[in-house]
Amino acid sequence: MQPEIEAKFLNVDHDTVRRKLTKLEAKLERPMRLMRRTVFDYPDGRIEKVLKGRLRVRDEGDKVTVTYKSPRPDQYMNETETIVGSYDTMVELFVALGLVPISILESKRETWQCGEVEVVLDEWPWAKPFIEIEGKSEREIKDCAVALGFDWHDAVYGSSDNVYRAEYPGMTIAETLMEVPEVRFGMAIPTWLEKRKTK
């Protein structure tokens, strides 16, 4: 497994970030596109509850990946990922093996290469826009964050659940976006999440 070293910065203006990336001579690798993912677990929920991991199939627009993420002792995650041929076929294969699709999620993502790090502009349903900076070392990520005008102390780590916990402070650590069977643009916000806007 490779360490996934990344930091998120929340509630950002994507147009401002684009202008700063352009000034830094970053390269737009992939424009904003719709992505879909299915997250799987065993019927007893052991991937999430016992292993504290996450298994997903994701259609990234130009490729399909299967990824397993598991926690590390620090704030980052271990990640094992491979490219596969078909989103639908991989979903069918996991179901045939006894795994259960627990959530289907949509997001939008734009990808930039800034020196040695990748900067992605993310949009998720019911959340304010954010960015994610990923690289091989924390130093590279910090340098990029500072160059883009972000305070490292504002960085958020981990899964998209932490993005929602920041926006919906009433969410407990036990609550997760995976509790929502479908997270899609244009859908009404779930009642339980709406109620978590305040503690």
Give tens-digit pLDDT for 105-140: 999 999 999 999 999 999 999 999 999 999 989 999
pLDDT of residue 1: 58
pLDDT of residue 22: 98
Which top CATH class is 2-197? mainly beta
| Residue whose pair of structure tokens reads 């130093």 in the numeric block | 139
Q: Percent of the chain, pLDDT > 70? A: 98
Residue 3 — pLDDT band, cuts 50, 70, 90?
A: low
Give tens-digit pLDDT for 143-187: 999 999 999 999 999 889 999 999 999 999 889 888 899 999 999
State phi, psi for 73 to the nearest 5 degrees: -65, -30
Tell me what the mean pLDDT of segment 62-68 comes to.
Answer: 94
Q: Which residue has the higher pLDDT, 178 or 100?
A: 100
**Which residues are 107's β-sheet partners?**
35
Q: CA 64, 62, 157: angle at the middle one, nearest 5?
A: 65
d(CA 60, CA 159): 17
Q: Above 90 in pLDDT, residue 74?
A: no
Give tens-digit pLDDT for 77-94: 888 999 999 999 999 999
| Domain residue ranges in the chain | 2-197
Q: What is the DSSP string of 128-184?
A: --EEEEEESSHHHHHHHHHHTT--GGG-B-SSHHHHHHHHSTT--TT--GGGSSEE-
